[in-house]
Structure formats: C-alpha cells, structure tokens
Structure 1
Amino acid sequence: MTASTRLSPAEQIPFFTGAESIRRTWAALEARLREVASVGRFTFGTLGRELEERIAALTGAKHAIAVGNGTDALIILLRAAGVGPGDEVIVPAYTFFASASAVLHVGAEPVLVDVVPGSYAMDPAAARAAITERTKAIMPVHLFSQMADMRTLRDLADEHGLLLLEDSAEGIGMVMGGRHAGLWGGGGVLSFFPTKTLGALGDAGMILTDDDAVAERARRLRSHGQAVDGSYEYLELGYNSRLDEIQSAVLLTRLETLAADIERRAELAARYDEGLAPLAPVVRIPFMAKAAEPGNTVWYVYLIESDHRDQLVAYLAAHGVGTEVYYPRPLTEQPALAPLPGARHPVPVAEAASRRAVGLPLYPDLTNDQVDRVCELVHRFHKELS
C-alpha cells in the first residue's frame, strides 16, 4: 500500500479541483441555469451571445465568436484566415498536440520549431530559419504563464508577408503592449477547458479577431457553413461547433470572479517561487522572459524542471500530490506527426523540457498550506537524493 492510498481525501492535494469554487458561486450559477431551462433553448442562445459580448469587452476584440471547444476554434480560425492545402504553418514543437493537429485538419503542414528556454514560447530565430516559399502563417502558443514575444514575431510576419495567428488557448487576461493575447495579427483563440484560468464544466472555446472577413467566415464555419443570416443557405462545408447555453451560463458566472482568480493564482505562484527558490539550480522555477511585462503574466500552470522529473512525480504521487507532465514528448516525437514531409528543424530546448518539466498544483481553491506542503515534499525529495 502506498502512502497516497493511506491518506484521507482531505489530506491529498489534487493537481486540479474546482469544487470549492463551484460551491461558492452555486447560487448565481443556479439562477442562470434556471434561466436556460425556462427559455428552453440549449444551443447558442441569449447567454451565448452575452458571453461573446463580455469576452469581446474584456479582451478588446472587435469580434468574439463562441465555439464548442478550443481545438475547433483553432481549426475554424485557420480556415477562416485562408490557410489550406499546400500551405505551411510554423508551430512550436513544445505544446499540446492540437496546435499541430489543427493545421493538419485544414490540409496544411505544421512546421515544428524550437522554443525559448524557461518561457517555452516559440523562438523567433527558429521561426525565421523555418520560413520557406510555402509558409503561410506563423502560429505561436502562449504557454503556462506568459505570452510569446509577439513584437518580434509580428515584425517577422510583416517582413515576409505572412499571417500571424495565435494559439492563445491559455491566454485569457494576458496583455502585452496594451494588446490582449490573440489580437496581434489575424486572430487567436481561447479555450475554456475546465482547468483553464476561465474554465467551463465541459468543453468550450472562443475565436478572437479584429478582422471582419475572418469573423464572418468563422461564424459561418461554426454552423455547417450556413450563411450568417440563418437562411439555410450553405455556402461551404463547415462544422457543428456551437457553444451550448449551459456552458455559457457557467462561464458568465465565473467571469465575475476572474480578476480575483487571476490575483489568487499570482499569490500562489509567488509562494511557490519563495518556497522553491533555495533549490536552484537543481530545480528550475519559472522565470519571465524579456518580453514579459506587467499584465502579460497570468498564471495558468506552475511549471518546474528537474533532472529527476519522473522520480519526483512518483514521490509526490506517493504522498498524495497530483502533478501533470507538460509535455512528455515534443511534437517532433509524436507518431501521428512522423509522416510529415521535409527536414525537421532541431528542437533541443523542447526535447530537454519534455524530459524535465512538470506542472505543480495551481488553482484558486488551493490553500497556502497546501502550497507549503508541496514545496516541503519537493525539498525532501531532492534532499533524499543527495
């Protein structure tokens, strides 16, 4: 019997839970759910449109287009922006699979490049080296806690006449130079997966864009390619990706606490920083890239690196602490991407991170004592190694 199986549920620290947040906001959520039931429309109705308006106001986007999930948002954005067969899209090699699979779904080819150490964002120099005559777009990903270097990437895209699209699935609340994540080029996306900074109770997503043409086509594509006037005239093949009203109700409720949730995440991250800093350089704690600035940082995941990552994960699990390995292999090593044509670009930083990086619990329901407990266990693990 392991230590974790002997611990009571109250003593365990899950990688993520939102149970207490749901309890705190249940009265407001229940009122919105009753509204959904009384109206009797369950797929993209009044609350879905209200959510679009609220997200547009929050981010400053001219258009916010609600869809079924973050992956659909990426696929629809790529198509709406004109990416298709024969095109190449530059994507970081260290990210979730959907960043590359969305490119494949529209018939284009993801070109995988390395990331910047510590920030895990696309390396602009690697992106420049990957540009060919077939390159149509550069698509950085904003991972874990901060945006990619969007000023440099926008200049690079402009220099070569390329689309700049953003996988800003984790980026709600992140701002650089007064511009919200997802709005530095043709558009971006948000994911509202339950663990996200703004999370639903299921899948949900949003497309952000200031481009009227991209927005019009995205709205058409999310509803089978139907003309946006709802006339049952289908102009192209699209998708069934309309956000349901129940998830809209959840997200509207959680928007009320988003600012406080972001602040709480920052407090917890600072506590981790203080608790784990003495372990440097054996343990690498997150650091802000040079492109980071006030407002850019929104703590979604607290990612550390250790040469003994897998043993640390097992040790923490045995003591009741959940973790998540982001990501156990770079996209260059994914079997589904192996048949991609062309030479692969070297991705040593992504490869190293895939061996060393692990996410620790970080969410508003986490207590200070729980963070201190995780830090204590990380210290104890490395002390026992020596």
Structure 2
Amino acid sequence: MPFFSQVATFEQLWPTIENALEDVFRSGKFSHGQQVGQLETALTHYTGARHVIGVNSGTDALVLLLRACGLRPGDGVLVPAYSFFATASAVVLAGGHPEFVDIDPRTHAMDPAALDAAVTPRSRFVMPVHLFHTMADMAAIGAVARRHGLTVVEDSAEAIGMRRHGVHAGLHGAGGVLSFFPSKTLGALGDAGAVLTDDPQVADTVAALRHHGRTGRTLNDFPAISTESALPGVNSKMDDIQAAVLLAKLTVLEEQIARRAELAAAYTARLRDVPGIVRLPRTTAERPDDRDVHYVYLIETEHRDALVAHLDGQGIGTEVYYPLPLPHQPAFAHLGHRPGAFPHAEAAARRAVALPFHPDLDPGDLDRVCDTIGSFLATTRTTA
C-alpha cells in the first residue's frame, strides 16, 4: 500500500488531459505559453487573489516572492523551526538570514507568542507556514508583525483551498505561494509552483524575475526592473504540460478536498481512542467561512520509529514529517542552536508520522492501516 497514489485520478481525467496535451504539442509552445496563462486566470478565480504568477516550483515561488517584497542581503526572516527544508533554504537563496521560531504543538504552525519573543533588530520579515491540514494563526501573527514593523509573507505551499475569514491562504500579507509537487492537494506530473498576491507591484516584479527580468513573453521585452537597484532575473517559467495537467485536475479539486475530509474523519474516528497515540489532527476552523484542507494525515506517537518500521514490514507506506527540526539541520549548524531550544518542534520531529492519505485511497486500506497501528501499539504498551 503506497503512501501516495493518483493512478485512479489520472485514469478518470486522462481524456481531458490528453486533449490539453495535444493542444500544447500543436502550439509548439511548451513553456510560459497559453496553458500557463489559462491556469493563472483559473487560480485567481479559485483563490480570490488579484494576481497569480506561475513558476517552476514552490521553492522558486518563495525565493522570488521574498525578493519581490524587498528582501535585502542579510535581512532576518522569522520562520518556524518545524517545516520542510525549503522554507529556510528559500530565505538563504533569496539573500536573507533565517531566524527560527518554535511551533504551536496543536497545529504544527508558528507559535505567535514564540514569534514575539524571537524578533531581533535585524528581523524584517515573518514567514509562517501552513502545514498538513490547517493554517497558522494569521490574526495573531499579523498583530505581532504590525507591532514590530515586519512584512508578512506566507509559505502556503501546502495550503490550496485553506481559508480564514473567507480569505485564501497566501493572501493575509504581502503574498504567498503554492506548490504543485505531485503529492500536493493539487499536484502536477512534476515540479511547478505559483505566487499569489493582491499587490500589483509584487506581481509585476515576480513576473519579470521568473523570466530573466523580462516583462513580456518575447526576446524583445527586456527592460530593467527598477526598484532600489536592478534585480537580476532567473529562469523559473512554468511548463505548459504541467499547466495543462493542473487545469484538468482543478476541475475535480473541490471533489477531492471533500474526499480528503472524509478520509481524515474516518482516520480520526478509528484512531481517536488508540492508546499510545499522543496527538491526532484537530480542526481550527471557527467560522462558516473558515476551511481546513487535509494535505496529509499526521499522527504523533512516542513509538514513531518502531511503528514506521512495523508498517513498512506490512507493506504500508508512510512519511516522516520532519525528522530533524530546521535549526538542527547541518546547513544551519553555524547558527549554534542547541538541543532543547525549540521543544515543541523537537517533539514533533521525534514523534510525527504521516499515514497513507490521498483521494484514491480505498476504505478497506484505511481500515487495514488503523488495525495494524492499533495492534502494534497495544503490543508495544503491553511489553513496555
């Protein structure tokens, strides 16, 4: 049983995808073309963003967003201590300095109280991450940011469909991003990403930076970008093949989000009373216009590593999110963070594991996962 699969989804959508790919092949425009423009428009309607700019990956989206928002070399960017490596590496690639903040153990997102205490004289940005199924507390984080004069950008790579107070993830500050890595809620056949923003200047700058500094789609459109100084662009255009796939999958996105909610509820019902599980996902939606979206289904147990090995032996795939907190990654060893400095992030890194979870998952497979977890943890508890 794989951790992730989209075979059934692609079988359902293949006629639509095949027609769109034929359009791409006939056009002879394989990058930065008509399909990309159509996807950008479709995503503005879906998210409510005024501007969506397609790029090569979610990581590139973060780098270009930070640069477009005015990050200067050495600026401090406050990020959660528990996230995928790209959250912090994007800061470095954009020229900034990552400053780590502990998480709220209930949501795995940046803790606003810890953020307030972590601000330094060099801090200029705060970049919360919306992990797994729910958004960070953007109201509280926004209040801290205003108090300290910080620019808010969102690592909303996992958060398509998530909303607070009716506002889509990525639109609670200067901008946000989406990742379309294949396993994401809206996934392509390879890497792709996008920047979301309501700021036309940020949008124009990202659009130019993704295309070597050009403001148009031809070799003639090459004026310099004027900010405090010219910003060199990169090659981070989205492929039309990926855009065509994403346009097809966007038509069933709401259906798949609903399926994910059903699977998450089924997992919770089966695992709620299992001894040995420390934490299950919990909703943070408080209003009718709030929405959580389950990207993965994450549990925490003190027996994580043994459980992962047991599930693997039974042919059940899992993913460990994330085995090492960002401050303790070798790339950031020079910052000198000691074990214990980020207790909630360190606990999650030790205990968290994601279970098989995708719209194609069969209910019988879900039952098998839960039965295997329950019997293993019961045996572990008895022999402990």
TM-score between the two structures when normalised by the length of structure 1: 0.94
Letter in 1 for 2:172: W
Give, in whole Å, the separation in 2 of the partners of 1:317 and 1:383: 18
Shift of the 314–342 alpha-carbon distance from structure 1 to 2, 3 Å rule, reads: closer
Name the counterpart of 1:361. Answer: 356
How far the C-alpha of 1:342 sits from its partner, in A, is 8.5
Name the counterpart of 1:330. Answer: 325
Shift of the 277–35 alpha-carbon distance from structure 1 to 2, 3 Å rule, reads: same
1:214 and 2:214 aligned? no
The C-alpha deviation readout for 1:44-70, integer Å capped at 9, x for no partner, is 111100000000110000100000000
Worse overlay, 284-293 or 48-57: 284-293
Q: Which secondary structure does the structure 2 equivalent of 1:22 belong to?
A: helix
The C-alpha deviation readout for 1:172-215, integer Å capped at 9, x for no partner, is 00000111000001000000000000000000000000011111
Name the counterpart of 2:245. Answer: 250
Q: 2:166 aligns with which of 167, 178, 196?
A: 178
Shift of the 142–292 alpha-carbon distance from structure 1 to 2, 3 Å rule, reads: farther
Q: Give the number of equivalent residue pairs.
A: 374
1:76 and 2:76 aligned? no
Q: Which secondary structure does the structure 2 equivalent of 1:305 belong to?
A: strand
How far the C-alpha of 1:232 sits from its partner, in A, is 2.9
Shift of the 345–85 alpha-carbon distance from structure 1 to 2, 3 Å rule, reads: farther
Letter in 1 for 2:14: W
Shift of the 368–342 alpha-carbon distance from structure 1 to 2, 3 Å rule, reads: closer
Identity of aligned residues (%): 50
The C-alpha deviation readout for 1:99-151, integer Å capped at 9, x for no partner, is 00011112110001100012100000111111122111110000000000001
The C-alpha deviation readout for 1:263-295, integer Å capped at 9, x for no partner, is 000000000001101115644211234778764
Name the counterpart of 1:155. Answer: 143
How far the C-alpha of 1:346 sits from its partner, in A, is 2.3
Name the counterpart of 2:312. Answer: 317
Give, in whole Å, the separation in 2 of the partners of 1:343 and 1:78: 28
Shift of the 327–19 alpha-carbon distance from structure 1 to 2, 3 Å rule, reads: same
Give, in whole Å, the separation in 2 of the partners of 1:292 and 1:81: 31
Q: Which secondary structure does the structure 2 equivalent of 1:57 belong to?
A: helix
The C-alpha deviation readout for 1:66-99, integer Å capped at 9, x for no partner, is 0000000000000000012121000000000000
TM-score between the two structures when normalised by the length of structure 2: 0.94
Shift of the 352–99 alpha-carbon distance from structure 1 to 2, 3 Å rule, reads: same
Shift of the 293–351 alpha-carbon distance from structure 1 to 2, 3 Å rule, reads: farther
Name the counterpart of 1:23. Answer: 11
Give, in whole Å, the separation in 1 of the partners of 2:315 and 2:369: 10
Q: Which secondary structure does the structure 2 equivalent of 1:279 belong to?
A: coil
Aligned-residue CA RMSD in angstroms?
1.7
Stretches of structure 1 that go unaligned for 5 or more consecutive residues are 1-12
Name the counterpart of 1:296. Answer: 291
Shift of the 382–281 alpha-carbon distance from structure 1 to 2, 3 Å rule, reads: closer
Give, in whole Å, the separation in 1 of the partners of 2:65 and 2:275: 41
Name the counterpart of 1:120. Answer: 108
- Judge conservation of contact 2:320–2:353 (CA < 8 Å) in 1: yes
Letter in 1 for 2:281: P
Name the counterpart of 1:99. Answer: 87
Name the counterpart of 1:198. Answer: 186
How far the C-alpha of 1:228 sits from its partner, in A, is 3.9
Give, in whole Å, the separation in 1 of the partners of 2:110 and 2:116: 11
Shift of the 229–68 alpha-carbon distance from structure 1 to 2, 3 Å rule, reads: closer
Give, in whole Å, the separation in 1 of the partners of 2:165 and 2:290: 9
1:272 and 2:233 aligned? no
Name the counterpart of 2:228. Answer: none
Shift of the 344–131 alpha-carbon distance from structure 1 to 2, 3 Å rule, reads: farther
Give, in whole Å, the separation in 2 of the partners of 1:293 and 1:322: 35
Name the counterpart of 1:4. Answer: none
- Judge conservation of contact 2:301–2:352 (CA < 8 Å) in 1: yes
Q: Which secondary structure does the structure 2 equivalent of 1:338 belong to?
A: helix
How far the C-alpha of 1:340 sits from its partner, in A, is 2.9
1:109 and 2:97 aligned? yes
Name the counterpart of 1:233. Answer: 223
Give, in whole Å, the separation in 2 of the partners of 1:106 and 1:222: 13
Name the counterpart of 1:138. Answer: 126
Shift of the 133–293 alpha-carbon distance from structure 1 to 2, 3 Å rule, reads: farther
How far the C-alpha of 1:343 sits from its partner, in A, is 8.9
- Judge conservation of contact 1:330–1:351 (CA < 8 Å) in 2: yes
Letter in 2 for 1:206: A
Give, in whole Å, the separation in 1 of the partners of 2:335 and 2:174: 26
The C-alpha deviation readout for 1:302-330, integer Å capped at 9, x for no partner, is 00001100000010011110000000010
The C-alpha deviation readout for 1:343-386, integer Å capped at 9, x for no partner, is 99921000011010000011000011111110000001012211
